[in-house]
Structure 1
């Protein structure tokens, strides 16, 4: 387990129309180092390529106690106080958040000391970070084993390079000022070098008899809601790229 990320928040914000670039500007300028100075790891921040008004990001903590300390330090500290109004005015809903723990972190998942583009960097990566959130009925449903045994071989066989797999961390929210979704999930992320590589993966997945006739129907049967598919573009300062 990476030291930085035994506990991870996956946060998805719905923004007011046309406000995403403004939030990213504030986030990359002030909230990356502002949070990391309090003991968090800002693992990745992304534009949702299928929703122009959605911003997605991940932050990691060494453990639950560190999460409470870091969040209290940041949200009651000077950086958030100085820039919160600029951020909050962009947000329509910021309560879509999950508390996760890693099942596996691949070599492409950024460590705490991974290089990060400098302040005011503007070059947006060409990579696509794709994945899904599966909504499960219970923590003992065997979904993690099903994922490793049946889903992973098809994903990797069609060109996906898995970077991280998470599941719900069954723990009380120790910073209730920021609500969490009360559900059990498995989430995975894979990295593609560009749009063409991602599109080819999707083409091969659609053509896979194993995926279409065996794996996908079982995902539906094991899920309590339709999976959320993710297709993301890292921001200029994202480590996860």
Structure 2
């Protein structure tokens, strides 16, 4: 899988091809803009095939389209779709209370490859629990008291740790079915909101250990208030 910023040598086999064969390449970005890449066409091989190639860079994530136009022998038009993932990062984005290192130390093993997004979603769930909480923050809205910083970090990693055994990724997908058998096709729904239970899904409810950590830090049990 290509990531944003990665270079690639795009290529196209032209069969048949000979000395009259030429090719151009237009690269359409996800926003619809286009650029033209410099194309090199190889010599014809023993099978009468030529290879067109061009250096292409994908600056942002999304779906790109490579539009090749071949003239001469082997003339034709071909479109190639190229999916590009966001740039690789181990740092969660946005308002996040824990790092992948924190998670690895909690799990006592290497974190999953999707650890950054799991930490983002778990932090969002912690924020949901603290809607009425009163605590000191900096200009970015992050806690400044060391006790609160530690509690929100630990609650976040506890939430991801609770998701790990059931394969939850914070989207609630595991609450749809908890038992699926391929032989004789037996399926049963989980106890989350998608199964009709009054209890919220694993993606919507804070794990008991995470909630306990916030409670012990004095961050829960606050009612709505106004400064007037």
- TM-score surpassing 0.5? no
Larger Rg: 2
Structure of higher RCO (CA pairs closer than 8 Å, 6+ residues apart): 1
More strand by share: 1
More helix by share: 1
Q: What TM-score does the superposition give when structure 1 sets the normalisation length?
A: 0.24
Q: What TM-score does the superposition give when structure 2 sets the normalisation length?
A: 0.25
